[in-house]
Amino acid sequence: MAKKVFVTHQLPGKRIHELSRHCEMNVWMGPGLLPSAALRTQLTGCHGLVCLLTDRIDKALLDQLPELEFVSSMSVGVDHIDVQALSERGIPVGNTPGVLVDTTADTAFALLLAAARRVAEADRFVRDGQWTAANAWAPEFFTGKDVTGATLGIVGLGEIGQAVARRAAGFGMRVLAWSRTAREVPGVEMLALDELLQRSDFVSVHVALAPQTRNLLDAARIARMKPGAVLVNTARGGIVDEQALAEALAGGRLSAAGVDVFEREPVAADNPLLRLPNVVVTPHIGSATTLTRARMADIAAANAIAALAGQAMPCCVNPQVYG
Q: Among all residues, which ones are annotated catalytic?
A: 236, 265, 284
Rounded CA-CA distance 290/22 in Å is 26
Nearest distance from residue 49's CB to ligand NAP, in Å? 19
Nearest distance from residue 278's CB to ligand NAP, in Å? 20
Q: For binding to ligand NAP (CB under 6 A), which residues are involved? A: 76-77, 97, 100-101, 104, 156-161, 179-181, 206-210, 212-213, 234-236, 260-261, 284, 286-287
Nearest distance from residue 160's CB to ligand NAP, in Å? 3
Residue whose CB is less far from ligand NAP, 86 or 160:
160
How many CA atoms lie within 13 Å of 244's alpha carbon, on the beta-carbon side? Answer: 16
Rounded CA-CA distance 114/279 in Å is 9
Residue whose CB is less far from ligand NAP, 18 or 102:
102
Rounded CA-CA distance 147/61 in Å is 46
* For helices 101-116 and 119-127, angle between their N-to-C axes, nearest 10 degrees: 60
Nearest distance from residue 88's CB to ligand NAP, in Å? 18
The identity of residue 266, as a single letter, is P
Residue whose CB is less far from ligand NAP, 151 or 287:
287
Burial of 131: CB neighbours in 10 Å, binned 0-12, 13-18, 19+ = middle
DSSP 96-146: --STTHHHHHHHHHHHHHHHHTTHHHHHHHHHTT--BTTBS--TTTT----
Q: Of all residues in this chain, which one has the CB nearest to ligand NAP in the complex? A: 158
Question: Which residues does 196 contact at the CB level (< 8 Å), separation at least 6?
Answer: 153, 155, 176, 177, 178, 203
User: Within a 10 A sphere around the Cβ of 115, how many other Cβ atoms?
Assistant: 27
Rounded CA-CA distance 181/22 in Å is 39
Nearest distance from residue 183's CB to ligand NAP, in Å? 7
